[in-house]
C-alpha cells in the first residue's frame, strides 16, 4: 500500500493539473471502489472548482468551492495519472481507456486525471469542508511526521509505558500519521533501534534521535519519488526509485550497510508484517 512519500509524490504530480481548476465532467465507470461512491458524486463535482490539493496521512484532499472536500485513498493498487495536461509538471499523452480506469476527471485547461485501481481497494468520499477533521477516516489520526506537532515530547508521551514493540507503536496511525511498514523499518535502522524493543523502554536520547531520522527518511523517499514495489506509479506513469537505496527493507540475508557493521539483515514477522533489521547495530 502506498505510504506517505508515495501519496505526497502523487499530490505534487497532480497539483499543477488540478489545483485551481474547474471539474468540467466526471466519469464514474462503476458504482463503487472499496465502498460505494457518495450519492450524486458526479453531479456534486461537475462544475466545482478545486481550490487546492492537500494530503493528510495517506489521503489526498481536494477542497472545492462548493464547501465540500473530496477525499481520495489509493488503496493497495490505485494510481492517478495525468493525461493531456500541457501545463502540468507530469505529462503523458491520452491513450485508450484501460480496463481498470474507474474514475476520470475532465478538468478546465484540458487536463484529464484518471483513477486506475485493479484491486479496487481504493476509495473516494465527499464531506463538508468545515467538518473534515471529524470525518471517520481522519478523526483519529495523529500528527503528521513532517509537521511541527510531531516532536520529541509527543513521541515520548506516546511511548510511555507501552509494552508493544516500537515498530508496532510507530505503525499506529493515532501516534503518527502516514508511516507504513517500509519507512518504519528504514527509519529504525537509521536510528540504530531494534524493531523488537518495547516502545516504553526507549530513552529520551534515542527518541530525540528518532524524530529527525523519521523526517529525514520520509524526505529522502519523497525526493526519490517514493518506492515502487508492485503497483505504485507516479502521476506520469514513472516508477519511484527509493527502493534502490533500501538499507534493510526486503534485504533479508544481505550484509548490513552501516559502516563498520558486520551484521546481516534479518527478517521477522511482527503483527502479521515483515520487519527487516540488523541484529548487530540495531539495539
SS in 3 state form for 250-269?
CCCCCECCCCCCCCECEEEE
- Check residue 237 and give its pLDDT: 59
Residue 95: pLDDT band with limits 50, 70, 90: very low
Q: Predicted confidence band at 77 (pLDDT cuts at 50, 70, 90)?
A: confident
Mean pLDDT of the chain: 91
pLDDT of residue 90: 40
Whole-number pLDDT of residue 228: 60
pLDDT for 242: 81
Residues involved in catalysis:
2-3, 58, 273
CATH 1.10.8.50 fits 152-277, yes or no: yes
- According to CATH, the topology of domain 4-134 is N-terminal domain of MutM-like DNA repair proteins (3.20.190)
d(CA 223, CA 24): 32
Q: Which of 15-19, 164-168, 225-229 has the lowest mean pLDDT?
A: 225-229
**Domains of the chain by residue range:** 4-134, 152-277
Average pLDDT for 171-187? 95
pLDDT per residue as tens digits for the range 108-138: 999 999 999 999 999 999 999 999 999 999 9
Q: In terms of C-beta distances under 8 Å and separation of at least 24 residues, what long-range contacts does 170-174 make, across chains too?
A: 170/214, 171/271, 171/273, 172/142, 173/57, 173/140, 173/141, 173/142, 174/140, 174/141, 174/142
Amino acid at each position: 500500500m502506498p505510504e506517505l512519500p508515495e501519496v505526497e509524490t502523487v499530490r505534487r504530480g497532480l497539483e499543477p493539473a488540478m489545483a485551481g481548476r474547474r471539474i468540467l465532467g466526471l466519469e464514474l465507470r462503476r458504482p463503487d471502489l472499496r465502498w460505494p461512491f457518495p450519492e450524486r458524486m458526479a453531479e456534486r463535482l461537475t462544475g466545482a472548482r478545486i481550490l487546492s490539493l492537500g494530503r493528510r496521512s495517506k489521503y489526498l484532499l481536494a477542497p472545492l468551492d462548493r464547501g465540500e472536500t473530496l477525499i481520495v485513498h489509493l488503496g493497495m493498487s490505485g494510481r492517478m495519472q495525468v493525461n493531456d495536461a500541457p501545463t502540468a509538471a507530469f505529462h503523458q499523452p491520452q491513450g485508450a481507456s484501460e480496463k481498470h480506469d474507474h474514475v476520470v476527471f475532465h478538468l478546465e485547461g484540458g487536463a484529464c486525471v484518471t483513477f486506475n485501481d485493479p484491486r479496487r481497494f481504493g476509495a473516494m468520499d465527499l464531506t463538508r469542508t468545515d467538518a473534515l477533521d471529524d470525518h471517520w477516516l481522519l478523526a483519529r489520526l495523529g500528527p503528521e511526521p513532517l509537521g511541527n506537532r510531531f516532536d520529541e515530547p509527543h513521541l515520548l508521551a506516546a511511548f510511555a509505558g507501552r509494552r508493544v514493540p516500537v515498530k508496532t507503536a510507530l505503525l499506529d496511525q493515532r501516534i503518527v500519521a502516514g508511516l507504513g511498514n517500509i519507512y518504519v523499518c528504514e527509519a529504525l535502522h537509521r536510528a540504530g533501534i531494534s524493531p523488537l524493543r518495547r516502545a516504553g523502554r526507549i530513552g529520551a536520547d534515542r527518541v530525540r534521535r528518532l524524530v529527525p531520522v523519521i523526517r529525514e527518511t520520509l524526505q529522502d523517499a519523497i525526493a526519490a519519488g517514493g518506492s515502487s514495489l508492485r503497483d505504485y506509479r507516479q502521476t506520469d506513469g514513472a516508477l519511484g526509485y527509493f527502493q534502490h537505496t533500501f538499507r534493510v527493507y526486503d534485504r533479508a540475508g544481505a550484509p548490513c550497510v552501516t559502516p563498520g557493521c558486520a551484521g546481516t539483515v534479518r527478517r521477522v514477522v511482527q503483527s502479521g508484517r515483515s520487519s527487516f533489521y540488523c541484529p548487530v547495530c540495531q539495539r
